[in-house]
């Protein structure tokens, strides 16, 4: 127990001392995670919205497929992307392996189904009377869609936050596609895994605290926005 | 002519929920669509407000055929607004709810402000302008929904059961608003209700629906019956195998029939001698309705009768009295 307390106190000191290595790892983590969340949201939110809003033949099948991909292990994504971008892969010429771009690609694949599925759930829960109200008030089909989206906005934001939480805490893709290169692709989770292998816990605990702090801040932000609009 | 409906049907699976061969609505009039639950009132309202396509048939609006195959009926919808039975307000302020219809019509900001305030004044909700819409009570929500629809300056307004979920105080306010917008703004109004008294009180014309079809009587006197022939060869409609109504019809077997409450007469026992379709009954209820008296008579089945006050006064009838009920053949409609 005292070992854990010691690690915790040393971690606090490390954070307080503004250790450049620690803060660069945090920077890379945030940069990669924000990039992948942004791209996955730009793709997943409209896709989820269209799937939920429109009626088409393969709708249920598509939702089932997306739900299946929710359980996709990070190492499987890492493996598949690796097969494409390694030197022997068809995209090997792009020289993406062990870069932050490769990590972003893998993470987008990982969280696209999360964003899309949670957006589908958010839109599907919106009472159909909102759609009909917008229509009867003279809204065009596009304006009607915007009304429905607006009513689902908080659930969609929650979907994006959940997706961000998934990527910032994942280790498999970052390790396999980023390679945990110090000062380049090392993220909080890969650094923690390395520290564990070395039997050094101080940096690991410090990074764990930062991870929790980021998650806490995101949720406070979300609750504040929600509270201000009275929803 | 505002709307003309021809051979309109709406079918869900194997079930025909609406079947209207011919129906016309005139401009600047308040119509009540009246009937029990499941009679097709809301479906008809949704079709006429262009929210639901019919299965077959045509609708003319201002003498022009509505093309439901056309994906964008938005220009037409901007003349017709429906207030739903349980309206929803967008999750924002009351002001922004009212502003929505105006914004999408491209109305400038200053004008929008003026129209929103005017509309809120009309429903007595000005002080709620900045309130969060989803925190209002049921009656307030209904009034804001009416104001939101009014702000769009429609030519026609549809109300689906406008007072079914509000208290008496709000019911009076909403009925007053419906009459005001018709008189002051010359807006044609079509509303649904299952309350016959409200339908008669509020509208210029009542259209009764039953089982998706128009019936030429109020739904209160609708019965299931069976056409039989008696020993003398007269055709009778038997209701519950007890009450036999003599009538002239080509139909046979199980039927439905309506008895027009305005054409039924209540008589003292001595006045009824020698007349056909006379039934013994007892007066169980009396109430006043738009200068008439609504009476409920138990003749084995409850029968609703609307008669002039004078007629009741002359005969000195009161609740509990035995009466003779005369149902002339012209009061009976078999379908």
* ipTM field: 0.78
pLDDT per residue of chain B (335 residues) written in tens, 0 to 9: 899 999 999 999 989 999 999 999 999 999 999 888 888 999 999 999 999 999 999 999 999 999 988 767 899 999 999 999 999 999 999 999 999 999 999 999 999 999 999 999 999 999 999 999 989 998 899 999 999 999 999 999 999 999 888 888 888 899 999 999 999 999 999 999 987 778 878 899 889 888 898 887 665 788 888 888 888 778 888 888 778 888 887 887 888 888 888 888 888 777 767 778 888 889 998 887 767 888 889 988 888 888 888 888 888 888 888 888 998 888 888 87
Residue of B85, B96, B101, B107 for testing the chain A interface, max A β-carbons within 10 Å: B101
Using a CB-CB cut-off of 8 Å, the residues of chain A touching B43 are none
Cβ separation A133–B84 shorter than 8 A:
yes
Closest to A66 measured CA to CA, from A82, A52, A83: A52
B245: which strand partners? B237
How far is it between the farthest Cα atoms of chain B?
A: 80
Q: How far is the C-alpha of B328 from the C-alpha of B256, rounded, in Å?
A: 17
Could you tell me what percent of chain A has a pLDDT over 70?
97
Cβ separation A137–B90 shorter than 8 A:
no
Cβ separation A134–B80 shorter than 8 A:
no
Mean pLDDT of A5-33: 86
Q: How close A139 gets to chain B, by Cα (Å)?
A: 6
Output A120 or A4, whichever has higher pLDDT.
A120
Specify the pLDDT at position A171. 93
- DSSP assignment of B191-239 equals EEES-HHHHHHH-SEEEEEETTEEESS-GGGEEEEEEEE-TTS-EEEEE
- Which DSSP symbol is given to A125? T
Task: Tell me how far the alpha carbon of residue A170 is from its chain's centroid.
Answer: 9
Q: Pairing state of beta strands B80-83 and B322-326?
A: unpaired
Res. A229 pLDDT band, cuts 50 70 90: low
Q: How far is the C-alpha of A214 from the C-alpha of A160, rounded, in Å?
A: 14
A128 touches chain B (CB under 8 A): no
Using a CB-CB cut-off of 8 Å, the residues of chain B touching A150 are 90-91
How far is it between the farthest Cα atoms of chain A?
A: 67
Q: How close A122 gets to chain B, by Cα (Å)?
A: 15
Chain B, 53-92: which have a CB under 8 Å from a chain A CB?
71-72, 74, 77-78, 80-82, 84, 86-88, 90-92
- Which DSSP symbol is given to B251? -
CB pairs under 8 A between A and B: 63
Q: How far is the C-alpha of A230 from the C-alpha of A223, rounded, in Å?
A: 10
Whether residue A171 contacts residue A152, with contact meaning beta carbons closer than 8 Å, is answered with no
Using a CB-CB cut-off of 8 Å, the residues of chain B touching A134 are 100
Tell me the per-residue pLDDT of A73-97, one tens digit each, with 9 for 90 and over: 999 999 999 999 998 899 999 999 9
Dihedral angle over CA of A179, A180, A183, A184, nearest 10: 40
Chain A, 57-116: which have a CB under 8 Å from a chain B CB?
none
Specify the pLDDT at position B243. 84
Specify the pLDDT at position B278. 87
Whether residue B235 contacts residue B248, with contact meaning beta carbons closer than 8 Å, is answered with yes
Q: How far is the C-alpha of A92 from the C-alpha of B214, rounded, in Å?
A: 73
Tell me the per-residue pLDDT of A128-184, one tens digit each, with 9 for 90 and over: 999 999 999 999 999 999 999 999 999 999 999 999 999 999 999 999 999 999 989
Q: How close A198 gets to chain B, by Cα (Å)?
A: 53
Place of tokens 């803060």: A23
Cβ separation A129–B101 shorter than 8 A:
no
Specify the pLDDT at position A153. 92
B263 touches chain A (CB under 8 A): no
Q: How far is the C-alpha of B232 from the C-alpha of A112, rounded, in Å?
A: 81
Place of tokens 């020993």: B231
Q: Find the CB nearest A138 among B84, B104, B132.
A: B104
pLDDT exceeds 60 at position A231: no
Q: How close A226 gets to chain B, by Cα (Å)?
A: 11
Strands lying side by side in the sheet with B30-34: B80-83, B156-160, B188-193, B30-34, B205-210, B213-215
CA gyration radius, chain B? 23
Chain A, 132-171: which have a CB under 8 Å from a chain B CB?
132-141, 143, 147, 150-151
Chain A, 108-127: which have a CB under 8 Å from a chain B CB?
127
Cβ separation B71–A141 shorter than 8 A:
yes
Q: What count of residues does chain A have? A: 231
Specify the pTM.
0.77
Q: How close B48 gets to chain A, by Cα (Å)?
A: 11
Mean pLDDT of chain A: 91
- Which DSSP symbol is given to B166? S
Specify the pLDDT at position B218. 60
B135 touches chain A (CB under 8 A): yes
Helices B109-122 and B168-185 cross at an angle (nearest 10°) of 130
Res. A118 pLDDT band, cuts 50 70 90: very high
Closest to B227 measured CA to CA, from B207, B248, B199, B211: B248
Specify the pLDDT at position A1. 61
Residue of B76, B83, B88, B97 for testing the chain A interface, max A β-carbons within 10 Å: B88
Q: How far is the C-alpha of B238 from the C-alpha of B325, rounded, in Å?
A: 16
State both tokens at A68: 């299946």
B157: which strand partners? B81, B189
Cβ separation A150–B77 shorter than 8 A:
no
- Which DSSP symbol is given to B139? H
Output A27 or B274, whichever has higher pLDDT.
A27
């Amino acid at each position: 127990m005292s070992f854990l307390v010691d690690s915790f106190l040393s971690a606090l000191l490390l954070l307080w001392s503004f250790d450049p290595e620690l803060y660069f790892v945090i920077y890379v983590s945030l940069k990669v995670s924000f990039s992948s969340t942004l791209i996955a949201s730009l793709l997943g939110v409209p896709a989820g919205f269209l799937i939920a809003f429109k009626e088409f033949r393969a709708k249920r099948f598509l939702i089932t497929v997306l739900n299946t991909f929710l359980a996709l292990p990070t190492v499987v994504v890492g493996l598949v992307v690796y097969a494409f971008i390694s030197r022997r892969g068809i995209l090997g010429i792009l020289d993406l392996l062990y870069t932050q771009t490769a990590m972003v690609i893998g993470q987008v694949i990982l969280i696209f189904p999360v964003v899309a599925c949670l957006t589908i759930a958010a839109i599907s829960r919106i009472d159909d009377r909102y759609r009909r109200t917008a229509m009867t008030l003279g809204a065009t089909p596009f304006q009607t869609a915007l009304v429905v989206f607006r009513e689902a906005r908080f659930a969609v934001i929650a979907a994006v936050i959940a997706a961000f939480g998934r990527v910032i805490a994942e280790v498999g893709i970052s390790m396999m596609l980023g390679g945990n290169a110090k000062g380049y692709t090392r993220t909080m989770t890969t650094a923690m895994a390395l520290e564990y292998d070395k039997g050094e816990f101080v940096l690991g605990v410090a990074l764990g605290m930062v991870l929790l702090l980021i998650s806490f801040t995101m949720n406070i932000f979300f609750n504040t926005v929600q509270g201000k609009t009275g929803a | 002519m505002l709307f003309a409906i021809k051979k309109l049907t709406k079918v869900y699976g194997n079930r025909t929920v609406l079947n209207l061969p011919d129906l016309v609505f005139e401009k600047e009039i308040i119509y009540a669509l009246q009937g029990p639950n499941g009679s097709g009132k809301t479906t008809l309202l949704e079709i006429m407000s262009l929210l639901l396509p019919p299965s077959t048939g045509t609708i003319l609006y201002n003498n022009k055929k509505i093309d439901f195959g056309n994906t964008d009926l938005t220009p037409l919808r901007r003349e017709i607004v429906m207030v739903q039975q349980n309206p929803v307000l967008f999750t924002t302020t009351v002001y922004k709810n009212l502003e929505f219809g105006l914004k999408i019509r491209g109305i400038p900001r200053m004008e929008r402000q003026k129209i929103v305030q005017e509309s809120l004044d009309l429903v007595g909700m000005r002080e709620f302008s900045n309130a969060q819409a989803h925190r209002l009570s049921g009656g307030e929500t209904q009034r804001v929904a009416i104001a939101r629809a009014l702000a769009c300056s429609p030519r026609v307004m549809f109300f689906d059961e406008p007072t079914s979920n509000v208290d008496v105080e709000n019911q009076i306010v909403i009925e007053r608003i419906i009459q005001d917008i018709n008189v002051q703004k010359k807006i044609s109004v079509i509303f649904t209700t299952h309350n016959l008294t409200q339908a008669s009180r509020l509208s210029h014309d009542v259209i009764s629906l039953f089982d998706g079809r128009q019936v030429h009587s109020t739904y209160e006197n609708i019965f299931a019956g069976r056409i039989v022939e008696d020993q003398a060869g007269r055709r009778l409609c038997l209701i519950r195998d007890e009450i036999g109504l003599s009538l002239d019809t080509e139909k046979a077997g199980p039927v439905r029939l309506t008895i027009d409450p305005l054409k039924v007469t209540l008589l003292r026992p001595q006045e009824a001698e020698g007349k056909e379709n006379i039934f013994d009954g007892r007066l169980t209820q009396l109430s006043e309705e738009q200068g008439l008296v609504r009476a409920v008579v138990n003749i084995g089945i409850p029968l609703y009768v609307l008669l002039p006050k004078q007629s009741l006064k002359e005969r000195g009838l009161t609740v509990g009295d035995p009466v003779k009920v005369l149902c002339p053949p012209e009061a009976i409609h078999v379908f």
